[in-house]
Amino acid sequence: MRRLVPGLAIPVLVGVPLWMGNSWAVELATAASGVLCLVAVLRASLALATSGAALALLALALARPEASSPASVFLLVAFGSALLLLLDGTHLYDRFDGAEVARALWRRHIALWVARWAISLGIALVIAVVAPLIALALPHLWPPFVAGLGILVAFAAAVAWARRGIDG
């Protein structure tokens, strides 16, 4: 039963792009990603989970320009957290397939997933409050520069976090 925990991410990965945009390309990419993610969870295949996650991200990218209202930061945090749950959970089950795993490891991983989600939600709250204030205070040409800088900092933080997980 624990093997199916990453499957909890599939409704979010399928629902968010469908909610944001309704074109045949979005629906096709979303359907393909949902099928790949489901097969990945059932087979504990990290390769299929990665392919399904990439298609889900493509579906979100296709749906985003079609969205009639600005996407909620919290909706995107939920999507990112679902991607993380799918990939990390599938990797965990792939790595320990057939092994007897202590309950302490499961509790530790669940606590890690909850902590990551809480941190992401906290960051989203800060972004939702602070970003409009910064945009008002900056000259007209600066917001794209600040946004690019924010993307670079977020990427560097993600790489540092992933590397810390690999090293330790």
Q: What does the mean pLDDT of the chain come to? A: 81
Residues 71, 20: contact at Cβ < 8 Å? Answer: yes
Domain spans in the chain, listed from the N-terminal domain onward? 2-137, 139-168
Residue 145 has pLDDT above 70, yes or no: yes
Tokens representing residue 156 in the block? 């560097």
Residues 33, 11: contact at Cβ < 8 Å? Answer: no
Taken in order 35, 36, 38, 42, the sign of the CA dihedral is positive
Query: What pLDDT, in 10s, does the model give residues 132-143?
Result: 787 787 787 777
Residue 49 has pLDDT above 80, yes or no: yes
Distance CA 117, CA 165 (A): 16
pLDDT band at residue 55 under the 50/70/90 scheme: very high
Distance CA 52, CA 37 (A): 5
Q: Where are the alpha helices (DSSP H) in the chain?
A: 10-20, 24-43, 46-63, 73-95, 103-137, 143-167
Per the listing, tokens 């924010």 go with 150
- Go through the chain and tell me how many residues it has: 168
Distance CA 26, CA 109 (A): 32
Taken in order 85, 31, 46, 57, the sign of the CA dihedral is negative
Distance CA 168, CA 163 (A): 8
> How high is the pLDDT of residue 76?
81
pTM to 2 decimals?
0.72
